[in-house]
Amino acid sequence: MEPSHPILFFDGVCNLCNGAVQFILKHDRRGVLRFASLQSDLAAELLPQYGVDPGALSSVVLYENGKVYTHSDGVLRTLKLMGGPLSYLSYLGIVPPSLRDIVYDLIGYNRYSLFGKREQCMLPRPEWKSRFVAS
């Protein structure tokens, strides 16, 4: 079954990733995006079909209409889907992915040491629970 909303898969134990998801939840006023951790059964079932190893935990993965976006492409597409003023940041896509991903990978590689790590995936606030498709 094709999901009716784009799904952003994220590292559920990463404090940076959890903070980013909370930011998106507050600013995606249209409620377009849904969320699931890369550690979820849904990620293990869906993402390998598109050549993405959810166990690698090296990138957010945006799944939308049968297509996946990873690394900086995933972030930029997410910003575009959020709408509003933040969507204009998606125009950073004119920068070649090889350059964008250098910055993305540098932050991603150091995210635990810079932002910390949780012992388990976050539990969403009650008002956001319907936006999470898998825990």
Secondary structure string (H, E, C) spanning 30-67:
CCCCEEEECCCHHHHHHHHHHCCCHHHCCCCEEEECCE
Q: Is the pLDDT of residue 66 over 70?
A: yes
Nearest by Cα to 15 from 93, 114, 124, 87? 114
Q: Which residue would you say has higher pLDDT here, 29 or 19?
A: 19
Least confident residue range of 10-19, 51-60, 71-80:
51-60
Which of 2-16, 60-74, 78-92, 97-111 has the lowest average pLDDT?
A: 2-16
Residues 73-91: what's their mean pLDDT?
93
Biggest CA–CA distance in the chain, Å, is 39
How large is the average pLDDT for residues 21-29?
Answer: 91
pLDDT: is 118 or 100 the higher one?
Answer: 100
Whether residue 122 has pLDDT greater than 70: no
Higher pLDDT, 49 or 58: 49
Instruction: Map out the domains of the chain as residue ranges.
Output: 7-131
Q: What is the mean pLDDT of the chain?
A: 88
Flag whether pLDDT at 47 surpasses 90.
Answer: yes
d(C-alpha 23, C-alpha 127), whole Å: 14
Lowest mean pLDDT among 5-9, 56-60, 76-80, 81-85: 56-60
